Amino acid sequence: MIVSENKSMQEILGFLKKAQKVVIVGCNECAATCKSGGEEEVLKMKEALESEGKTVLGYTLLEPACNLLKSKKDLKVLKEELKEADAVLSMACGDGTQTIVKNINKLPVYPANNTMFIGETKRVGEFEESCKACGECELGWTGGICPVTVCAKGLINGACGGAKNGKCEVSPENDCAWIMIYEKLKELDQLENMVEMRPMKDYSKQNNPRHLNLKKKEEEASAEA
């Protein structure tokens, strides 16, 4: 999931300084789970903006905000409010906010959230980064532990030798990723994976913005068959 957290009200009000009439758009999936953009948070934001003298014309929650065509359809519920509004406040992640921008013309869309990372829910209210979407997954030979994300140095050929008492020298509160990888490979009887030198990451696969068109892939595969 994409983990996000609310910006400060000071920053949000700075975005909205020239806007009197506002529409709020939340996301009922990742942002709701992170308590940064579900209905409860949207209603609190509405109350906060109104206490600052803003007029909140309406709000909606998208499911999810990052689905371009579905969001276009779901935003129609605010068709009249958007005609009157001065601005839209997005309580989705950065991806969702950009999707909302693509679906709304002639109105500024401002982010209420900071997008933190792609991660997992460890328990309610606690999230941990687990993937950098590097475009070249390394999990197949590391026992399912990502060296790009979990290692503070992003080392592909570890360990660096700087760990102390099993903790990372860069981030002492974190366990050393390569000790974790070693222990997992030992458990799986795959320690030979530690010996092979791996090539440097191909950062061309992170050449932004990236695209994936499944229909085009299927057509190319059919043409090659």
What residue segments make up the domains of the chain, in order of their start?
A: 2-117, 136-200
What sign does the dihedral 20-106-12-57 (CA atoms) show?
Answer: positive
pLDDT band, residue 214 (cuts 50/70/90)? confident
Question: What are the backbone dihedrals phi and psi of residue 10, each rounded to the nearest 5 degrees, phi first?
Answer: -60, -45
Q: Which of 44, 99, 103 is nearest to 77 (CA)?
A: 103
Q: Looking at domain 2-117, which of 2.10.70.10, 1.25.40.10, 3.40.50.300, 3.40.50.2300 is its CATH number?
A: 3.40.50.2300
Average confidence (pLDDT) over 71-85: 97
141, β-bridge pairs: none
Which tens digit of pLDDT belongs to each residue from 98-124? 999 999 999 999 999 999 999 988 888
Residue of 163 and 209 predicted with greater confidence: 163
Q: What is the mean pLDDT of the chain?
A: 93
Say if CB 96 and CB 64 are below 8 A apart.
yes
What sign does the dihedral 170-93-202-222 (CA atoms) show?
Answer: positive
Tell me what pLDDT residue 170 has.
94
Would you say residue 65 has pLDDT above 90? Answer: yes
Average confidence (pLDDT) over 70-98: 97
Q: What is the DSSP string of 143-159?
A: TT--HHHHSTT--SS--
Give the span between the Cα atoms of 183 and 124, in whole angstroms.
28
Which tens digit of pLDDT belongs to each residue from 24-61? 999 999 999 999 999 999 999 999 999 999 999 999 99
Q: Which of 105, 9, 25 is nearest to 66 (CA)?
A: 25
Tell me what pLDDT residue 160 has.
94
